[in-house]
């Protein structure tokens, strides 16, 4: 495989190969831009994101050398321009789709902070605005759950599966039954990960809100509505460590396997 890449570079020159390699890297590059966890981790490190995107794109280039060579042999600016927009936009959409549970946790934390009456400036959100104490706490727990439960592996698997639905060299997606099944599988895997990551914490908040409402309705003489503010704060503070412990217990086995990169790559390209 390395010999084929060397043949392309020596046969056509780096000036022709380089734009096509950048085109192939645009989908993972868009994914890294749209995914909230990567935005938090890398912030404005554009070159680092591009390096990771190229590393993610190289296996795709190796598997599809014929298509890559066709783009190098007959480059067309009127074709490369829409392909570039399509590749970055599709990757960005995949990143935003995977970020849905984190947006939900972020807004849940904002609601909790509003009930608590927190009014400091908070910290800067890389996506814009500012975040307060529980918004950050919920996001950190969500990030930990996502990565430790294999969410990032599923995200990369979705990225590579998307090439079977919408190859790099096609402006429009593949319209077939197999492509539809792959698309459904991508959406199912993404939504399942979102539910696993966000449901425990969001469910806990719903239970707390419901318990306070029921208690206030049943025990009017105790003025639970007047005590709702301290009760919600106390319940949230007490249950957050329990949520972190639950996530750690569920993900302990996967954390020990996180360094086995070869097995993960075999799973992507089996």
Same domain, 149 and 249: yes
For 188-211, the pLDDT digits (tens) are 888 888 887 777 777 777 776 666
* Residue 94 lies inside a defined structural domain of this protein: no
Q: Any idea what the Cα angle at residue 202 is, between residues 28 and 242, rounded to 5°?
A: 100
Boundaries of domain holding 116: 99-270
The structural domain count of the chain equals 2
Domain boundary residue among 65, 89, 113? 89
Neighbour count for residue 8 (Cβ, 10 Å): 21
Same domain, 157 and 235: yes
Q: Which pTM does this prediction carry?
A: 0.76
Neighbour count for residue 141 (Cβ, 10 Å): 21
Q: Is the pLDDT of residue 245 over 90?
A: no
Neighbour-count burial for 87-112, b at 16+ CB within 10 Å, e otherwise: bbebbbebbbbbbbbbbbbbebbbeb
For 213-242, the pLDDT digits (tens) are 666 666 566 666 666 666 666 766 776 677
Q: Who has greater pLDDT, 57 or 113?
A: 57
Domain boundary residue among 39, 59, 89? 89
The torsion angles phi and psi of 242, rounded to 5 degrees, stand at -65, -40
| Dist CA 32 CA 22 (whole Å) | 15
* Residue 147 lies inside a defined structural domain of this protein: yes
Same domain, 83 and 142: no
| CA nearest neighbour of 208 among 185, 248, 237, 172 | 237
Instruction: Find where tokens 């792959």 sit.
Output: 182
Decide: helix, strand or coil at residue 131.
strand
C-alpha dist (Å) from residue 7 to 1, 2, 13, 71, 213:
10, 9, 10, 15, 70
Same domain, 80 and 153: no
Same domain, 15 and 44: yes
Same domain, 131 and 43: no
Same domain, 106 and 233: yes
| CA nearest neighbour of 216 among 224, 227, 207 | 224
Same domain, 68 and 174: no
Same domain, 267 and 155: yes
- Under DSSP, the state recorded for 222 is G
Q: Compute the Cα dihedral for 255, 260, 261, 263 and give only its sign.
A: negative
| Dist CA 111 CA 39 (whole Å) | 23
Same domain, 109 and 158: yes
> Average pLDDT for residues 113-135, to the nearest whole number?
69
Instruction: Find where tokens 């709702």 sit.
Output: 228
Q: Is the pLDDT of residue 153 over 60?
A: yes
Q: Is the pLDDT of residue 92 over 90?
A: yes
For 38-50, the pLDDT digits (tens) are 888 777 777 888 8
* Residue 185 lies inside a defined structural domain of this protein: yes
């Amino acid at each position: 495989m390395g010999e084929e890449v060397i043949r392309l570079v020596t046969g056509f020159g780096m000036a022709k190969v380089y734009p096509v390699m950048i085109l192939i890297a645009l989908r993972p590059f868009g994914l890294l831009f749209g995914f909230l966890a990567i935005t938090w981790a890398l912030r404005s490190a554009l070159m680092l994101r591009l390096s990771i995107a190229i590393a993610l794109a190289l296996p795709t280039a190796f598997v599809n050398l014929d298509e890559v060579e066709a783009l190098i042999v007959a480059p067309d600016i009127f074709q490369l321009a829409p392909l570039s927009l399509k590749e970055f936009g599709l990757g960005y959409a995949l990143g935003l789709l995977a970020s849905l549970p984190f947006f939900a946790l972020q807004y849940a934390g904002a609601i909790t902070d509003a009930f608590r009456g927190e009014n400091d400036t908070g910290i800067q959100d890389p996506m814009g605005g500012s975040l307060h104490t529980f918004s950050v706490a919920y996001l950190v727990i969500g990030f930990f759950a996502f990565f430790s439960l294999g969410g990032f592996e599923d995200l990369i698997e979705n990225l590579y599966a998307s090439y079977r639905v919408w190859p790099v060299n096609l402006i429009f997606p593949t319209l077939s039954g197999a492509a539809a099944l792959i698309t459904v599988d991508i959406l199912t895997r993404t939504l399942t990960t979102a539910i696993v990551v966000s449901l425990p914490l969001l469910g806990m908040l719903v239970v707390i809100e419901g318990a306070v409402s029921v208690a206030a309705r049943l025990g009017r003489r105790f003025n639970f509505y007047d005590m709702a503010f301290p009760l919600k704060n106390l319940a949230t503070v007490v249950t957050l460590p329990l949520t972190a412990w639950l996530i750690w217990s569920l993900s302990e086995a996967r954390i020990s396997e996180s360094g086995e990169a070869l097995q993960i790559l075999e799973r992507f390209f089996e």
